[in-house]
Structure 1
Amino acid sequence: MTTMTEASVREFKMPDVGEGLTEAEILKWYVQPGDTVTDGQVVCEVETAKAAVELPIPYDGVVRELRFAEGTTVDVGTAIIAVDVAGRGAGAGQAPEASAAEAPAAPEPAAQEPAAGEKKPQARQPVLVGYGVATSSTKRRPRRGPEIPAQEASKAIQSELNGHGTAAAAQPRPLAKPPVRKLAKDLGVDLATVIPSGPDGIITREDVHAAVAPPRQAPEPVTAAPAPAVSAPAAPPASYDVTRETRIPVRGVRKATAAAMVGSAFTAPHVTEFVTVDVTRTMKLVEELKQDKELEGLRVNPLLLIAKALLVAIRRNPDVNASWDEAAQEIVVKHYVNLGIAAATPRGLIVPNIKDADAKTLPQLAQALAELVATAREGKTSPAAMQGGTVTITNVGVFGVDTGTPILPPGESAILAVGAIKLQPWVHKGKVKPRQVTTLALSFDHRLVDGELGSKVLADVAAILEQPKRLITWA
Structure 2
Amino acid sequence: MTTMTEASVREFKMPDVGEGLTEAEILKWYVQPGDTVTDGQVVCEVETAKAAVELPIPYDGVVRALHFPEGTTVDVGMSIIAVDVSGGAGGAPVAAPVAEVPAQAAVQTPAQAPAAPQEQPQAPQAEAPQAEAAKAEAAKPVGSGRQPVLVGYGVAASSTKRRPRKGPEIAVSRVPDTVQAELNGHGGAPAVRERPLAKPPVRKLAKDLGVDLATVVPSGPDGIITREDVHAAVAPAAPATQAAPVAEPVPQVTQAPVPTPAAVPAPSYDTARETRVPVKGVRKATAAAMVGSAFTAPHVTEFVTIDVTRTLKLVEELKQDKDMQGLRVNPLLLIARALLVAVRRNPEINASWDEAAQEIVVKHYVNLGIAAATPRGLLVPNIKDAHAKTLPQLAESLGELVSTAREGRTSPAAMQGGTVTITNVGVFGVDTGTPILNPGESAILAIGAIKLQPWVHKGKVKPRQVTTLALSFDHRLVDGELGSKVLADVAAILEQPRKLITWG
Distance in 1, matches of 2:30 and 2:144, equals 31
1:374 maps onto 2:341 in alignment: no
Distance in 1, matches of 2:145 and 2:74, equals 19
Shift of 1:314: 0.5
Instruction: Please tell me the residue identity of whatever aligns with 1:319.
Output: E
Shift of 1:241: 2.7
Instruction: Please tell me the residue identity of whatever aligns with 2:29.
Output: W
Q: Aligned with 2:334: secondary structure?
A: helix
Distance in 1, matches of 2:466 and 2:375, equals 30
Q: Aligned with 2:423: secondary structure?
A: strand
1:424-446 CA distances to partner (integer Å, 9 max, x unpaired)? 00000111110000000000000
1:77 maps onto 2:77 in alignment: yes
Question: 2:198 aligned to 231, 236, 251, which one?
Answer: 231
Q: Which residue of structure 1 lines up, in the alignment, with residue 300 of structure 2?
A: 271
Distance in 2, matches of 1:225 and 1:366, equals 42
Within 5 Å, which residues of 2 pair with 1:55-74? 55-74=55-74
Distance in 2, matches of 1:345 and 1:252, equals 13
1:464 maps onto 2:431 in alignment: no
- Alignment length, in residue pairs? 343
Q: Which residue of structure 1 lines up, in the alignment, with residue 33 of structure 2?
A: 33
Distance in 2, matches of 1:139 and 1:370, equals 51
TM-score between both structures, scaled by the size of structure 2: 0.66
Q: Which residue of structure 2 lines up, in the alignment, with residue 47 of structure 1?
A: 47
Distance in 2, matches of 1:5 and 1:19, equals 35
Distance in 2, matches of 1:294 and 1:386, equals 29
TM-score between both structures, scaled by the size of structure 1: 0.70
Shift of 1:7: 2.4
Question: 1:412 aligned to 441, 451, 474, which one?
Answer: 441
Relative to structure 1, is the Cα distance of residues 379 and 422 closer, same or farther in structure 2, using a 3 angstrom cutoff? Answer: same
Q: Which residue of structure 1 lines up, in the alignment, with residue 380 of structure 2?
A: 351
Q: Which residue of structure 2 lines up, in the alignment, with residue 214 of structure 1?
A: none
Relative to structure 1, is the Cα distance of residues 240 and 328 closer, same or farther in structure 2, using a 3 angstrom cutoff? Answer: farther
Instruction: Please tell me the residue identity of whatever aligns with 1:351.
Output: V
Shift of 1:225: 8.7
1:332 maps onto 2:361 in alignment: yes
Q: Which residue of structure 1 lines up, in the alignment, with residue 470 of structure 2?
A: 441
Q: Which residue of structure 2 lines up, in the alignment, with residue 182 of structure 1?
A: none
Q: Which residue of structure 2 lines up, in the alignment, with residue 391 of structure 1?
A: 420
Distance in 2, matches of 1:413 and 1:139, equals 44
Shift of 1:19: 1.7
Distance in 2, matches of 1:242 and 1:304, equals 47
Relative to structure 1, is the Cα distance of residues 259 and 460 closer, same or farther in structure 2, using a 3 angstrom cutoff? Answer: same
Shift of 1:328: 1.2
Distance in 2, matches of 1:463 and 1:396, equals 20
Distance in 2, matches of 1:343 and 1:34, equals 40
Within 5 Å, which residues of 2 pair with 1:203-282? 227-228=153-154, 231-232=198-199, 234=202, 235=227, 238=267, 240-282=269-311
Q: Which structure has the larger Rg over C-alpha atoms?
A: 2
Q: Which residue of structure 2 lines up, in the alignment, with residue 12 of structure 1?
A: 12
Relative to structure 1, is the Cα distance of residues 239 and 398 closer, same or farther in structure 2, using a 3 angstrom cutoff? Answer: farther
Relative to structure 1, is the Cα distance of residues 429 and 391 closer, same or farther in structure 2, using a 3 angstrom cutoff? Answer: same
Q: Gapped runs of 5+ residues in structure 1?
A: 89-136, 142-223
Distance in 2, matches of 1:324 and 1:46, equals 33
- RMSD, matched Cα: 2.0
Instruction: Please tell me the residue identity of whatever aligns with 1:8.
Output: S
Q: Percent identity?
A: 85
Shift of 1:6: 3.3
Distance in 2, matches of 1:371 and 1:316, equals 27
Does structure 1 retain, via aligned residues, the 8 Å contact 2:50–2:281?
yes
Distance in 2, matches of 1:398 and 1:140, equals 54
Shift of 1:240: 4.9
Distance in 1, matches of 2:452 and 2:19, equals 46
1:71-101 CA distances to partner (integer Å, 9 max, x unpaired)? 111111111111111138xxxxxxxxxxxxx
Q: Aligned with 2:426: secondary structure?
A: helix
Relative to structure 1, is the Cα distance of residues 437 and 317 closer, same or farther in structure 2, using a 3 angstrom cutoff? Answer: same
Relative to structure 1, is the Cα distance of residues 240 and 13 closer, same or farther in structure 2, using a 3 angstrom cutoff? Answer: farther
Shift of 1:228: 4.1
Shift of 1:65: 1.1
Q: Aligned with 1:393: secondary structure?
A: strand
Relative to structure 1, is the Cα distance of residues 25 and 225 closer, same or farther in structure 2, using a 3 angstrom cutoff? Answer: closer
Q: Gapped runs of 5+ residues in structure 2?
A: 89-141, 156-196, 203-226, 232-266
Q: Which residue of structure 2 lines up, in the alignment, with residue 113 of structure 1?
A: none
Deviates further, 360-369 or 239-248: 239-248
Does structure 1 retain, via aligned residues, the 8 Å contact 2:62–2:87?
no
Q: Aligned with 1:77: secondary structure?
A: coil
Distance in 1, matches of 2:484 and 2:436, equals 17
Distance in 1, matches of 2:60 and 2:429, equals 52
Question: 1:305 aligned to 329, 334, 348, which one?
Answer: 334
Distance in 2, matches of 1:474 and 1:27, equals 48
1:135-192 CA distances to partner (integer Å, 9 max, x unpaired)? xx97768xxxxxxxxxxxxxxxxxxxxxxxxxxxxxxxxxxxxxxxxxxxxxxxxxxx
Shift of 1:231: 2.8
1:325-370 CA distances to partner (integer Å, 9 max, x unpaired)? 1111111110000000000111100100000001100000000000
Distance in 2, matches of 1:360 and 1:22, equals 35
Q: Which runs of 4+ in 1 moved over 3 A?
A: 137-141, 224-230, 236-240
Q: Which residue of structure 2 lines up, in the alignment, with residue 403 of structure 1?
A: 432
Q: Aligned with 2:287: secondary structure?
A: helix
Relative to structure 1, is the Cα distance of residues 387 and 8 closer, same or farther in structure 2, using a 3 angstrom cutoff? Answer: same
Distance in 2, matches of 1:357 and 1:240, equals 54
Q: Aligned with 1:243: secondary structure?
A: helix
Shift of 1:242: 2.7
